[in-house]
Structure 1
Amino acid sequence: MTQNDSNLMVEVSTDYYLDGRSKVEIARRRGISRFQVARLLAQARELGVVRIEITPPRADGERGARLAARLGLREVLIAASAEDVTTTRENVAVELARAAREHIAEGSTVGISWSRTVEAAVRHIGRLPHCDVVQLVGALPVEGSGNSLGLINTFAQMPGVRTWPVWSPLLVADAATAAGMRRQPEIADALARADHLDVAVVAIGHWSERTSTVFPQISPKEQQAATAAGVVAECSGRLFDAAGRPVRTSLDERVVGVTLEQLVGTPEVIAIGYGSAVAPGLVAAVRGGIANTLVVDDAAATALESLAL
C-alpha cells in the first residue's frame, strides 16, 4: 500500500465513521467507486487504523480481585453474562482483548490458541506493538466459525507483527502422522517457540460434547477412556484432571500443538472460559499452574466462588 493509498484510507474512514457520510456520498466526493470505499473501510478495520470498541457493562472489579486472591491468581476479569451464548462470548471477548493489550509489550513472543472467543477477541484488540505471534495449535474447523490458521493470518495482516503458523490439523489420524507433522521444519520451529513465550492466550473447555471443541472430534471409545482416566477439562487439545495434571491417552499422541508443560513454563497465561460448567476445569488449570489470569463471565465467576470456599 502506497502513502497515497494510506492517506485515502484515513480520509475515507474519517468521512464514514466521524462525519457520518454514506459510502455513495464518499465515492462521489472522492471520485472513486462505492466498492473501493467499502474495501478501504474493511482494510482500515483489519489494519487497526479504525478501532471500534463495544464496551458492555463490567462486573465489579473488586469482586474479581477477591476471587483472584482466593484462587492465588494475578487477576480475574469478569464479563457480564447474557441470555444467549453469542452475546456472552462477545462480552468475554472484549475483556480478553483488554487483558491481551495490557500484557503484550514491544518485542513480546505471544502464543495464541484457538477458540471462538479468542477469534472474537481479535476484532477488539486493534493494533499491537511489534511482536511475534505463535500459533499454538493446528487447525480444528468448527461449523459456523473459523480456525487457528485463519486466526494467525489475521495477526499476519497487522503491521509490525511477525507470525509463526502451524500448517497442520490439530488432530490427525494416528500417532505416527502426528509425529511426522511435528517434525516438519516450519511446524517444529513454531512449536519450539512455545518454549519461550512471554504471554499465551488459551481457552479452557469442560470435558463434554457441548463445551469442548475436541470431544466431538474423537471416537466414543476415546471419549470414555479419557473420562475414565479422570479428565475434567482440555486446553488446546491437551487433557488434564482435577489437579491440573496432564492425562495421557491415545488422543494426546494425535495432537499437533502446544503441551501443558510449555504453558506451565510461560510467565503469563491468560485463560478464558464461560458458563458455570467450565468452573472445575478453570480451578484445575489454576492448580496445575496452567493459567495465572482468568477471563470469565459472571456465571463462571459465581461457580468459581463456590468452588474456592
Structure 2
Amino acid sequence: MRTHHTGPEYLVQTAAMARRFYLEGKSKMEIADEFGISRFKVARTLESALRDGLIRLEIQLPAELDADLSDALRTRYGLRHAIVIDARQEVPDDTVQATRRLGAVTADLLAEIVTEDDVLGMVWGPEVEAVGLGLTTLARCTVVQLCGVTPLRPVDVTAVEAVRRAATIARGAVYPIYAPLLLPDATAARMLREQPGIVDAVRHFGAVTKAVVTVGGWGPGLSTVYDGLSEAEREDYRRRGVCAEVAGRLLDAEGNTLVPELAERTIAISFDELRAVPDVILMADGIQRATAASAALRTGLFNGVVTDAAVARTLL
C-alpha cells in the first residue's frame, strides 16, 4: 500500500517547493510561509526528494570544461582559480589546436576576473599569444609585459602582439618589452634594462595585480631559455636537476630555484615581484610540461592554473 509520503499531494507539493527553491530562487522560509509549514519541513522534503530521485539536479558545463578535475585541482593545491579543459576532444598530436583552446579558455577567465582596478601582467610565449587571439572583451586596465621574447625570433611588433592586443581591447595603457628574454651575458642584459622603454615596463612590475605566466619544460621547443642556451649549458643544467623554467628562472622538481646567476642574463619579472602579485595564473600546456607544471606549483607563486586533463591528472 502506498504511503502518504508518495501520494499525489505530496508529489505535487514537493515539485512546487523544488520549483520555488531551485528555479525561482526563493528561500526555505518564504516557501514555508507559502505552504504553511516549518522551514525545517521544507528542508527535509527537499532532501528526501533528492535522495529518492524525485528531484534530479544536473550540472551542464560546456563540453570542453572538466568540472571534476578542476575542483580536484583547486582543492589539492589550495587554488583560487582552477580550470581544466577536456583534451579528449583534440585530434591526437594537434598541439597547435590544443594551445589555441587553452588560450581561449584563459582569455575567458581574464574577461571574468580582471577589473578596472587591475594591472594585468603577461609573460611572452606561444600560449599567451593564444590568449591574445582569444580575447574579445576585457575591463579597462593597464597591461604590462613581464619578460622579453625568444632570442630565436626577431624582436618586432608581432612578438608582443598579445600584450598590445590585450591593451587595445582593455582600452588601457600598455608597457611592452621589445627585447630578448635571454641575453648572451649579464653586461648585455644590464645595458638593455637601462633602455627607456624597458625601464618603463620594469617599473610597472610592482603595480601588477593579476598575471598570466607560462611554464617551460626542459627540452627542445618547451622553453625559451632552453632553446637559447648552448648544448653544453643545457646538459650541465639538466645534471644539476633543472626540469622547468618560469619567467627565465630555472627550477628543480621540488620547485627550488637553480642556477640563480642565469637571472643576470634575463629580462623578466623576478620571483620576489611575482610573489607580491595577488593573482598569478599558471598556463600549463600539454602533457610534456606536466613535470614542469608540478615544479612550478611547488614554488608557491601561483594561486590559479589553466591546463588540460592530462596535465591535471599528473598533478593530482
What TM-score does the superposition give when structure 1 sets the normalisation length?
0.74
2:110 is the counterpart of 1:104: no
Equivalent position of 2:234 in the other structure? 223
In structure 1, runs of 5+ residues without a counterpart are: 1-54
Report the CA distance shift for 1:166/1:210 in structure 2 as closer, same or farther (over 3 A).
Answer: closer
Equivalent position of 1:66 in the other structure? 72
* C-alpha distance in 2 between matches for 1:156 and 1:75: 23
* C-alpha distance in 1 between matches for 2:86 and 2:130: 16
| Counterpart amino acid of residue 88 in structure 1 | A
Equivalent position of 1:194 in the other structure? 205
What SS does structure 2 have at the residue aligned with 1:98?
helix
Give per-residue Cα distances to partners, 1:114-169, cap 9 Å, x unaligned.
12121112222213221110011112266799864233332343352210122222
Matches within 5 A, 1:248-263: 248-263=259-274
Equivalent position of 2:279 in the other structure? 268
What SS does structure 1 have at the residue aligned with 2:169?
coil
* C-alpha distance in 2 between matches for 1:93 and 1:246: 27
What SS does structure 2 have at the residue aligned with 1:178?
helix
Equivalent position of 2:225 in the other structure? 214
From the CA coordinates, give the structure whose radius of gyration is larger. Answer: 2
Contact 2:83 2:305 in 1 (8 A): yes
| Counterpart amino acid of residue 107 in structure 2 | A
Equivalent position of 1:18 in the other structure? none
Q: 2:136 aligns with which of 81, 106, 126?
A: 126
Equivalent position of 2:149 in the other structure? 139
Report the CA distance shift for 1:220/1:56 in structure 2 as closer, same or farther (over 3 A).
Answer: farther
* C-alpha distance in 1 between matches for 2:111 and 2:311: 23
| Counterpart amino acid of residue 292 in structure 1 | N
Q: 2:180 aligns with which of 155, 169, 186?
A: 169
Q: 1:298 aligns with which of 309, 313, 316?
A: 309
| Counterpart amino acid of residue 204 in structure 2 | R
Compute the displacement of 1:203 (Å).
0.6
Contact 1:80 1:91 in 2 (8 A): no
Contact 2:220 2:226 in 1 (8 A): yes
What SS does structure 2 have at the residue aligned with 1:214?
helix
What SS does structure 2 have at the residue aligned with 1:77?
strand
Compute the displacement of 1:250 (Å).
4.7
What SS does structure 1 have at the residue aligned with 2:258?
coil
* C-alpha distance in 2 between matches for 1:215 and 1:273: 17
Q: Name which of structure 1's ranges 148-157 and 124-133 shifts more when overlaid on structure 2.
A: 148-157
* C-alpha distance in 1 between matches for 2:129 and 2:77: 27
* C-alpha distance in 2 between matches for 1:219 and 1:251: 13
Moved >4 Å (runs of 4+)? 141-148
Compute the displacement of 1:110 (Å).
0.8
Give per-residue Cα distances to partners, 1:256-308, cap 9 Å, x unaligned.
11112221221101111122232222222222112111100111112112xxx
In structure 2, runs of 5+ residues without a counterpart are: 1-60
Q: Determine what percentage of the aligned residue pairs are the same residue.
A: 31
Equivalent position of 1:15 in the other structure? none
Compute the displacement of 1:184 (Å).
2.3
What SS does structure 2 have at the residue aligned with 1:158?
helix
Equivalent position of 1:80 in the other structure? 86
What SS does structure 2 have at the residue aligned with 1:202?
strand
Equivalent position of 1:117 in the other structure? 127
Report the CA distance shift for 1:127/1:141 in structure 2 as closer, same or farther (over 3 A).
Answer: farther
Contact 1:80 1:298 in 2 (8 A): yes
Equivalent position of 1:6 in the other structure? none
Contact 1:108 1:198 in 2 (8 A): yes
| Counterpart amino acid of residue 103 in structure 1 | I
* C-alpha distance in 2 between matches for 1:219 and 1:250: 16
* C-alpha distance in 1 between matches for 2:163 and 2:131: 13
Compute the displacement of 1:251 (Å).
3.2
2:111 is the counterpart of 1:91: no
What SS does structure 2 have at the residue aligned with 1:234?
strand
Supply the RMSD in Å over aligned alpha carbons.
2.4
Equivalent position of 1:285 in the other structure? 296
* C-alpha distance in 1 between matches for 2:148 and 2:221: 21
Contact 1:204 1:273 in 2 (8 A): yes
* C-alpha distance in 1 between matches for 2:262 and 2:116: 37
| Counterpart amino acid of residue 161 in structure 2 | G
